[in-house]
Amino acid sequence: MAATQQFDEPVKTVPLLEARGITKIFDTLKANDNVDFAIQKGEIHALLGENGAGKSTLVKILFGSLQANEGGVLWDSAPVTVRSPSEARELGIGMVFQHFSLFEALTVAENIALSFNAATPLENISTRTRDLSTQYGLPLDPDAVVGDLSVGERQRVEIIRCLMQDPRLIILDEPTSVLTPQEADTLFETLFRLRDEGRSVLYISHRLEEVQRLCSAATIMRHGQVVDACDPREETAGSLASKMVGAEIDEVVHRESAATDKVVLQLNNLNMPSTHPFAVALQNVNLQVNAGEVVGIAGIAGNGQGELFGAISGEDVAANADAVVIDGHVVGNLGISERRKIGGAFVPEERLGHGAVPALTLSDNMYLARHASDSDDFQSGGSLKVIAKNAIKSATKRVVEAMDVRKSAENPPAAALSGGNLQKFVVGRELDRKPVFLLVNQPTWGVDAGAATHIRQALIDLAASGSAVLMISQDLDEIFEVADRIAVMADGRLSQPEPTANMTRERVGLLMAGSSDNVDASGEAA
């Protein structure tokens, strides 16, 4: 495959793991279709693909969480059947999940102990946890309760848990999606060390720059099939992207900031105490979003973004009314329906179960978010508030057409839509109202590239038409692509927003890590 042999590249002999003809069918969907690929010893191998390309299914089959319908796996050139994760671990395969499979109520040591088959005494596990975590530069307290750890620390638990088994192959699923750029660098150091010890790493990601930095081989999947195998170092980000997507994606059309002087959203010393033990308190958040601009809020998950969404949308009501001002209305003490009535629109992070009720139809979910703002159209019968089903249906149809929502039935339940299509609907539902102010949290999380571009473009266009848009996102690429100004959320505090042109990833990374000096010094350009 590789045209040139470089000195740090292992000589390709017998692959450590080889998958042949893996096919997995769910219902009618072929999640994996005759997948072949091989991982060499001592190599960091990228598995690239969009959401829904079949990466997770493949990995779950390799790790024994799922069973393939057809095909098999060779380990050290011997055929093996992996019936369960514990069998995988016995072979020497370890896995770090994207959504951590950790137990919040248990301690670090207890969490690690659970993946051991033998009844190893907990004390031994504590000691070894300490040793390994220092050895690989990932410090951890074995007696800490996982619920109290930060996201980055939780990932360390996953990695140490995996390394305790002395694996020969380590699978990492989107590991940097929860890390600051600086934390990611530390992780890469650890991965290089593992490679140098002769271990193999299967690195699942859609972040092309990382893959180019780390990996010496890549397998690219699309629609459940392997479409290409290459050396990512010899590709450009663009060529990798088009292999992943299969066609050129439309670029988001940039335009000059259309920001005006009109302040649409103003937060004045917004404080919110934390409502439950694992929540983050908002502390003195100040922000101003003007008509015509998109302000992006970056930050690592769990630093108060959800709480900020609640406070601005009115799901949580602030103690003082003037903490939140929307379009000149003092609304800090008003609920979400009142804020909608004056032109506020909100798209939460979770589509199913927050932005939409899974079992209800699209038109019901239309009514869900707009019964108050569109009561004139959507209700009849005075105080009886009889639902005007036809008006809602036609509004739903309008949104479906405007956002190109693909669906299997006329008016299917929300749960029946794919993530990308439901997200388009949930965003489109608000855009259709032509809101004065739109707050959106993680607009393209888990959405395929085509839908993501569509949504980002829609946000930019909304701002261009004179609305104010506030976008919370953990995806730095997205922030830099869409936002006119960028602020960073860390531990419930918000940095001063600065024009995107003045921001660098490094500075955002430092702010994400909660470096308060930087917050104060934000007046000077980095």
Partner 1 sequence: MRLELQKRAGASTLFSILSPFIALVLTLVAGAIMFVILGKPPFASLYSYFIEPLFLKFDMGPIFSDFSFEGIVPNGWSLEQILVKATPLALIAVGLAVCFRSGNWNIGAEGQYLIGGMFGAMIPVLFNDWNSPLTLPLVLIMGMLGGALYGFIPAILKSRFGTNEILTSLMLVYVAQQLVDWIVRGPWRDPKGMGFPGTKSFNESAVLPSLWQHADAHYGAVIAVVAAIAVWFMLAKTSKGFEITVLGQSPRAGRFAGFSAKNMTVFAFLFSGAMAGLAGISEVSGSVEKLDDKLSLGYGFTAIIVAFLGRLNPLGIVAAALVLALSYIGGEAAQISLGVSDRAARVFQGLLLFFVLACDTLIHYRVRLVAAVEAVA
Partner 2 sequence: MDVWISIILSICAASTPLLLAATGELVVERSGVLNLGVEGMMIMGAVAGFATAQVTGNPYLGALVAMGAGALFSLLFAFLTLTLVANQVATGLALTILGIGLSGMIGEGFVGRPGIRMEALDIPILTDLPIIGKLIFGQDLIFYISIALVFGVYWFLFKTRAGLTLRSVGDNHTSAHALGINVIKVRYLAVLFGGACAGLAGAHLSLVYVPQWVEGMTAGRGWIALALVVFASWRPGRVLVGAYLFGTVTIGQFHAQAIGIAIPAQFLTSLPYIATIVVLVLIARNRRMTMLNTPASLGQSFVPDR
Q: Which is nearer to partner 2, 33 or 87 (CB)?
A: 87
Contact between 71 and partner 2 (CB under 8 A)? no
Contact between 25 and partner 2 (CB under 8 A)? no
- Residue 440 half-sphere exposure, CB side, CA atoms within 13 Å? 33
Coil, helix or strand at residue 131: helix
What does the per-residue mask of binding to partner 1 show for 75-104, with x meaning CB under 8 A?
------x-x---------------------
Coil, helix or strand at residue 63: coil
Among the residue ranges 79-87, 189-197, 284-292, 314-322, the one whose residues contact partner 2 (CB under 8 A): 79-87
Among the residue ranges 108-116, 127-135, 227-235, 383-391, the one whose residues contact partner 1 (CB under 8 A): 383-391
Q: Which residues contact 420 (CB under 8 A, 6 or more apart)?
A: 51, 446, 447, 448, 450, 451, 452
Q: How many CB atoms lie within 10 A of CB 139?
A: 10
**Binder of partner 2 out of 5, 67, 77, 134 (CB under 8 A):** 67
**Please, what is the minimum distance in Å from the beta carbon of residue 138 to partner 2?**
20
**114 touches, from partner 1, partner 2, none (C-beta below 5 to 8 Å by class):** partner 2
Coil, helix or strand at residue 38: strand
Contact between 305 and partner 1 (CB under 8 A)? no
DSSP-assigned letter for residue 36: E
**437 touches, from partner 2, partner 1, none (C-beta below 5 to 8 Å by class):** none
Tell me the two tokens of residue 279: 């929540």
Among the residue ranges 43-51, 179-187, 371-379, 482-490, the one whose residues contact partner 1 (CB under 8 A): 371-379
- How far apart CA 282 and CA 388 sit, in angstroms, is 39
What does the per-residue mask of binding to partner 2 show for 89-108, with x meaning CB under 8 A?
--------x--xxxxxxx--
**27 touches, from partner 2, partner 1, none (C-beta below 5 to 8 Å by class):** partner 1
**Please, what is the minimum distance in Å from the beta carbon of residue 84 to partner 1?**
12
Residue 405's alpha-carbon distances to 2, 332, 369, 424, 438, in angstroms, are: 41, 34, 18, 6, 20
**Binder of partner 1 out of 301, 404, 412, 502 (CB under 8 A):** 412
Would you state the torsion angle of the CA atoms of residues 53, 57, 61, 63, taken in this order, to the nearest 10 degrees? 100
Q: How many CB atoms lie within 10 A of CB 416?
A: 15
- How far apart CA 262 and CA 467 sit, in angstroms, is 10
What is the distance of C-alpha 366 from the center of its chain?
25
Binding-site size for partner 2 (CB under 8 A) equals 23
Rg from Cα positions in the chain: 25
**Please, what is the minimum distance in Å from the beta carbon of residue 416 to partner 1?**
5
Binding-site size for partner 1 (CB under 8 A) equals 44
Contact between 58 and partner 1 (CB under 8 A)? no
**Please, what is the minimum distance in Å from the beta carbon of residue 34 to partner 1?**
12
**Binder of partner 2 out of 119, 247, 384, 386 (CB under 8 A):** 119
**Please, what is the minimum distance in Å from the beta carbon of residue 266 to partner 1?**
22
CA-closest candidate to residue 244, choices 59, 48, 419, 58: 48
**Please, what is the minimum distance in Å from the beta carbon of residue 390 to partner 1?**
13
**Please, what is the minimum distance in Å from the beta carbon of residue 17 to partner 1?**
17
**Binder of partner 1 out of 43, 364, 430, 448 (CB under 8 A):** 364
**Please, what is the minimum distance in Å from the beta carbon of residue 317 to partner 2?**
18
What does the per-residue mask of binding to partner 2 show for 270-309, with x meaning CB under 8 A?
------xx--------------------------------
Angle at 203 between CA 179 and CA 140, to 5 degrees: 45
**368 touches, from partner 1, partner 2, none (C-beta below 5 to 8 Å by class):** partner 1
Q: Which is nearer to partner 2, 64 or 224 (CB)?
A: 64
Would you state the torsion angle of the CA atoms of residues 235, 236, 238, 241, taken in this order, to the nearest 10 degrees? 40
Contact between 124 and partner 2 (CB under 8 A)? no
**Binder of partner 1 out of 37, 136, 367, 437 (CB under 8 A):** 367
Tell me the two tokens of residue 192: 């290089």
The answer to whether 173 and 56 have CB atoms below 8 angstroms apart is yes
For residues 296-322, one letter each, b for 16 or more C-beta atoms within 10 angstroms of the residue's C-beta and e for the rest, the string is bbbbbebbbbbbbbbbbbbbbbbeeee
Contact between 356 and partner 1 (CB under 8 A)? yes
Listed in order, strand segments (DSSP E) in 166-236 are: 169-173, 200-205, 217-222, 225-230
The answer to whether 417 and 407 have CB atoms below 8 angstroms apart is yes
Contact between 416 and partner 1 (CB under 8 A)? yes
**385 touches, from partner 1, partner 2, none (C-beta below 5 to 8 Å by class):** partner 1
- How far apart CA 210 and CA 240 sit, in angstroms, is 12
- How far apart CA 11 and CA 411 sit, in angstroms, is 56
**Please, what is the minimum distance in Å from the beta carbon of residue 388 to partner 1?**
10
Q: What residues line the site for partner 1 (CB under 8 A)?
A: 27, 67-72, 81, 83, 313-315, 335-337, 340, 346, 348, 350, 353-360, 364, 367-369, 371-372, 379, 381, 384-387, 408, 412-413, 415-416
Q: What residues line the site for partner 2 (CB under 8 A)?
A: 64-67, 84-86, 97, 100-106, 110, 113-115, 119, 147, 276-277
